[in-house]
Structure 1
Amino acid sequence: LVEMGGVFEECDELIITQDLREQKAVMAARSDAFVGLPGGFGTLEEMMERLTLKQLGFHHKPIIFINTKQVYQPLFDFFEHLYRENFADSSCRELYYIAPDALDAIDRLERD
């Protein structure tokens, strides 16, 4: 990303990693929670990885999807399909929180 100009020049700290896998590991280790803002495939991939790792017991950090403008609603509908068809246990609903907006996500994080 550095070579591509994808670095915010005014950041407080810059950590350069060898690859995306290392970058994700560093971010996960330094995180208190995982918050998915509306985004694309990269955001979705990272949130699904965090969700899977929590399901397997590798971490117990809060996972919050910010569902602004219902952007993630088709994903949550798919989750419900997985629960109905017994591809995922309905207890997995407890692994994440769906926030309608950023303020609700902040409130939830402050309570946890």
Structure 2
Amino acid sequence: MSTFSLCVYCGARPGSNPSYMAAATELGQAIAQANMRLVYGAGDVGIMGAVARAAQTGGAETFGVIPTHLMDMEVGKTDLSTFVVTETMHERKKVMFMNADAVVVLPGGAGSLDEFFEALTWRQLRLHEKPIFLLNVDGYWDPLRAVLDHVVREGFADPSLLSFVQTVADVPDLMAKLQ
């Protein structure tokens, strides 16, 4: 049984840059090699599926959480170590977050941003102290970092907000910071 659980928020699509899928596969492999448990959205499509398949192939424990209404759209990956079906997206996010020791966000869309901002808001409100990482594949998250800087600069958040998010360039950098 793994002792450290990494929650991965990421796209249910592959994205337009092949580097996104490559980073997802590399992350899944690294999770397995580090004997960590993958906690993620239980889909078998896009970047989400790539992370899970690579983690499984490497022998990692996998913990997936999916709401009933996404079972078909995200192709619920029922062969995981643990497969949880929730009624709502809110429950999904809560179960994923509560079963993780840290969060990493790979490239993704509105859902990934929603998950990221909820984890960041909870951290800002001192509801947790879990590390939050942006895996900045080919600069994908540079615009988000600029928005966070803008929010602080314009006085809508304390500068400490920026310290709650660590941006990492690649999977080796992430794994080094998690050790």
Tell me if TM exceeds 0.5: yes
Number of the residue aligned with 2:153:
84
> Which of 139, 146, 155 is the equivalent residue of 1:70?
139
> Which of 17, 20, 42 is the equivalent residue of 2:86?
17
Number of the residue aligned with 2:100:
31
Counting matched residue pairs gives 110
Alpha-carbon distance, 1:65 to partner? 0.5
Q: CA–CA distance in 2 between the matches of 1:106 and 1:81?
A: 29
Once superposed, what is the RMSD of the aligned Cα atoms? 1.3
Letter in 2 for 1:70: G
Q: CA–CA distance in 2 between the matches of 1:68 and 1:53?
A: 25
1:55–1:3 Cα change, 3 Å: same
Q: Could you list the structure 1 runs, at least 4 aligned residues long, displaced by more than 2 angstroms after superposition.
A: 1-5
Q: CA–CA distance in 2 between the matches of 1:50 and 1:5?
A: 22
Identity %: 35
Number of the residue aligned with 2:48:
none
Alpha-carbon distance, 1:5 to partner? 5.8
Alpha-carbon distance, 1:3 to partner? 4.0
> Which of 25, 28, 44 is the equivalent residue of 2:113?
44
Map 1:1-16 to 2 at 5 A. Answer: 1-4=70-73, 6-16=75-85
Letter in 2 for 1:11: L
Deviates more, 1:49-58 or 1:6-15: 6-15
SS in 2 for 1:14: strand
Alpha-carbon distance, 1:4 to partner? 3.8
Q: CA–CA distance in 2 between the matches of 1:5 and 1:68?
A: 23
How does the TM-score come out when normalised to structure 2?
0.58
Q: CA–CA distance in 1 between the matches of 2:85 and 2:107?
A: 25
Higher strand share: 2
Q: CA–CA distance in 1 between the matches of 2:121 and 2:73?
A: 30
Higher helix share: 1
